[in-house]
Amino acid sequence: MRPPRLPADTRGDLVRAAVIGALAGFLSGLFGVGGGILIVPGLVLIAHMDQRLAHGTSLAAIVPIAAAGVIGYLIDDKVDGAAALCITLGAMLGALAGTKALQVLPARTLRLAFALILLLTAARLFLHEGDPAGRGALDPAMVVGFFALGLASGALSGLLGVGGGIIMVPVMVLGFGIPSVVAKGTSLLVIIPTSLVGTWRNLRNGNARIDLALAVGVAGTLTAFAGARVSIVMSDVLSAVLFGLLLVFSAARLLLTDRRERRGSREAGG
């Protein structure tokens, strides 16, 4: 017996989600982020998904994408395991707080907050300087610092549907002296358990579409490993500039969407 055919609109959603996942996966591996910076606006703008549901679906899709990407860094020993453990402990707690806030904040607030994060990250990337040589010995102050970084990135992950790498990578580089390529691999390792915790909470709250998350995640795993391998040999300056341009583009699209929705609301009310 042939399996039942999916409705045309559902098949179209899955195809669009897979395309988004393939692009997000490559960027995830390339820049050490979960890929949510592309997945969330992609699901909203291309798949026409509700903002809150897009955040939860994105977080679920990030789990397999980050797992595939981190393998590409582990092959060359470009992961700081001690830092990852400290950050993960904070990030898992932060993700619980972030997913709780996702339940109560308005969609427009989420959209504007996400755009602001993208623009701030882009600004940091455009001001990129030389790579540091590496962190010092892991002392108590550094452990506390890594834990605090985990809390912040985890909260961002649960709230905005991103892996948290857009905070972790720059802070590890600028604040702790970890080389960029190692920061990317470490970030992806932390993203896996953080996204799992956030996804568990989102599923309980009904804030994720598993079918689209699987389409995004499976497609993303096929490209995340390739992105990680490219990152190992890519120039730091080129990586920073390209990623910064991508963030600016994504933020601009979100702000334009917000403007159109506000205009539509005024016209409907007027």
CA distances from 40 to 60, 77, 222, 251 (A): 11, 30, 19, 11
pTM as predicted: 0.79
- Give the distance from CA 121 to its chain's centroid: 12
Which range in 47-56, 88-97, 159-168 is most confidently predicted, on average pLDDT? 88-97
The residue that leads in pLDDT, 267 or 259, is 259
268 belongs to a structural domain: no
Longest dimension (CA), the chain: 63
Burial class of residue 17 (count of CB atoms within 10 Å of its CB; 0-12, 13-18, 19+): buried
User: What gap in Å lies between CA 87 and CA 194, rounded to an integer?
Assistant: 10
Say what the alpha-carbon torsion angle 236, 66, 200, 243 is, to the nearest 10 degrees.
30
Taken in order 219, 247, 238, 85, the sign of the CA dihedral is negative
In this structure, is residue 4 part of a structural domain?
no
Q: What is the rounded distance in angstroms from the CA atom of residue 85 to the CA atom of residue 82?
A: 5
Residue 89 lies in a domain: yes
Q: How many CB atoms lie within 10 A of CB 235?
A: 9
Cα distance between residue 156 and residue 151, in whole Å: 9
Domain contains 37: yes
Model confidence at 64, in pLDDT bands (50, 70, 90)?
very high
Domain that holds residue 42: 11-257
Higher pLDDT, 132 or 53: 53
Over residues 99-133, the pLDDT tens digits come to 777 677 776 777 787 788 778 877 877 776 666 66
Q: How many domains does the chain have?
A: 1
Contacts of 194 (CB under 8 A, 6+ apart): 88, 91, 92, 94, 95, 150, 153, 154, 157, 163, 164
Residue 6 lies in a domain: no
Is residue 226 situated within a structural domain? Answer: yes
CA 207/CA 196 separation, integer angstroms: 14
Q: Which of 189, 172, 149 is nearest to 63 (CA)?
A: 189
231 lies in some domain: yes
Q: Is residue 57 part of a domain?
A: yes
